[in-house]
Every structure is written in C-alpha cells, then in structure tokens.
C-alpha cells in the first residue's frame, strides 16, 4: 500500500506542477490527456485530471461525467498506471470483458422422439426427460419400506433445561413471594389497628398503647423486609430465565 501511495503521489505532484518539470521517474502525460488509474484487477478508471491523496484514498472526477470518485491507494497497480500515463501514449487499451455465461439449454429431444413409432412411447420419453427416471417398483409381496418420522424434541433453554425445571423453580419462588405478601399485608393491618386503639386517659392505658404500637411496627418492618427479599428473588429468577432463553410461559 505504501509503495502504491508513494507512486501516485509522485504522479500527482509532477503533473500538478508542485515539483520541477521533467523529474526523473515521474511520467508526464500530454496536455489535455485524461489520467488513467489501473487497479490491481486490471480495471481502469479514467479521470479528468490527476487525483489528489486524501488519507490513503485517491480522489478525482471521472472523465466525461465529472462524477467525484474515491479509490483506495492500495488497489492501484503502480507499474500499469505508469505505463498508461507515459507521455506519447495514444490509446488506452480497453479492459478485457469476460463473456457472460448463457442460460442452461435443454438438449433437443426431437431425434429421440422420432426413433419411436407410437405417440405413447414418445410421451413416456418426454416425461422421463422432464421428471427423471422413476424409482423401480418393489417386487410383488415385498413389504413397503417405512421411513421413521423423528419425534419432535421437547424445547429447552440454551443450557438444555426444559419446562419442568423452570416450572419447579418458579413455583417455589412464587410460593415464597405470595406468603411474604400475605404476611406483610396482615402486619400492616395490625399496625393500623394498634395505632387507632388508644381509648384510655390514664398512665397505664398510655403505656399499654405505646407498647402495642411499638410491637406492631416491629412486626410490620420485619414483614416488609421479608417481602422485599422474596420480590427480589422472584425478579432475579425471571432475569435468569430470560438470559437462558426459557419461554415466558414456563414461569407462569
């Protein structure tokens, strides 16, 4: 790539006039003559003027249409490009055009048909040529060959675990979560009832009320922590199943 880029840069500099005319090793195309870039595969790109280097790509405009093109310098054949742009070259050889292969042609069957006397034989020959030779008929009395049909394998996740595995784990995690939800709801209800139960005016009644509220709050806090833990385990199981490729219905 570096050699091709250096060569094209030398060509561009010589023609653009940024170095003295007649620099050794740099061809000078005739005035008004297009610039030809020969690629490694033999294809040619004809430009209006020598291209300019832009970070390892040669940028120029196509001869005739003026379309701006960019060609990697690594794809340029330096020697062939030099020969194509030597001063005095009159013609630019056209790239070799590869013939396009024609479609498959069915061999004529007229001679084969004419060899048979009856129309029925001709139809059989044509049908055989179109569909291929049929399989030989089984001998009389032979049992037909039964091809076993493979049974559909039960779906699994990416680690080979099936529906039963995930249903068992989901059932256990869901049961713990439901119990935690019920305990938390009951503890919340008892706390609210304790906070509304103050009816006395004496010191003993006030102390009893405070003790009941503190106990109810302690129970409600423990129930809340257990519910949060059960909810987290359930969400972790759902994420694990998603990453393993388990079907969502296996967790229901």
- Condensed to tens digits (0 to 9), the pLDDT of residues 138-168 reads 677 666 666 665 566 789 999 899 989 999 9
Mean pLDDT taken over the chain: 75
pTM of full prediction above 0.75:
no
At residue 38, φ and ψ (nearest 5 deg) are: -100, 120
Report residue 240 CA to chain centroid gap: 24
* Residue 200 binned pLDDT confidence (cut-offs 50, 70, 90): low
Q: Lowest mean pLDDT: which of 6-10, 47-51, 86-90?
A: 6-10
Question: In what helix (H) or strand (E) does residue 57 lie, and over which residues does it extend?
Answer: strand 57-61
The separation between the first and the last C-alpha atoms of the chain, rounded to the nearest angstrom, is 61
Label residue 59 left, alpha or beta by phi (over 0 means left) and psi (-120 to 50 means alpha). Answer: beta
Helices (H) and strands (E) in the chain, counts: 6, 5
Per-residue pLDDT tens over the stretch 208-236: 888 888 999 999 999 999 999 999 999 99
State the DSSP string of 74-97: GGB-HHHHHHHTSTT----PPPPP
Task: Tell me which residue of 24, 28, 50 sits closest to 37, measured CA to CA.
Answer: 50
Mean pLDDT, residues 43-62 taken together: 86
Q: Whole-angstrom Cα distance, residue 241 to residue 252?
A: 12
**Rounded CA gap, 10 and 124, in Å?**
73
Is the predicted pLDDT of residue 18 greater than 50, yes or no? Answer: no
């Amino acid at each position: 790539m570096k050699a091709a880029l250096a060569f094209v840069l030398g060509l561009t500099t010589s023609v653009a006039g940024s170095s003295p005319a007649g620099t050794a090793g740099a061809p000078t195309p005739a005035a008004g003559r297009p610039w030809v870039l020969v690629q490694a595969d033999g294809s040619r790109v004809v430009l209006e003027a020598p291209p300019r280097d832009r970070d390892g790509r040669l940028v120029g405009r196509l001869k005739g249409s003026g379309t701006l093109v960019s060609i990697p310098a690594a794809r340029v054949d330096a020697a062939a490009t030099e020969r194509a742009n030597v001063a005095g070259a009159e013609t630019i050889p056209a790239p070799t055009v590869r013939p396009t292969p024609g479609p498959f042609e069915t061999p004529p069957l007229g001679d084969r048909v004419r060899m048979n006397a009856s129309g029925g034989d001709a139809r059989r020959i044509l049908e055989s040529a179109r569909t291929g030779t049929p399989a030989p008929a089984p001998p009389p009395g032979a049992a037909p060959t039964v091809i076993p049909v493979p049974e559909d394998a039960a779906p699994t996740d990416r680690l080979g675990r099936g529906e039963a595995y995930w249903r068992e784990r989901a059932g256990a995690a869901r049961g713990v979560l439901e119990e935690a939800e019920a305990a938390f709801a009951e503890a919340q209800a008892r706390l609210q009832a304790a906070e509304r139960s103050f009816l006395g005016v004496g010191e003993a009644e006030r102390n009893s009320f405070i003790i009941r509220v503190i106990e109810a709050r302690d129970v409600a806090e423990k129930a809340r922590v257990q519910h949060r833990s059960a909810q987290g385990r359930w969400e972790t199981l759902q994420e694990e199943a998603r990453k393993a490729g388990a079907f969502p219905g296996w967790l229901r």
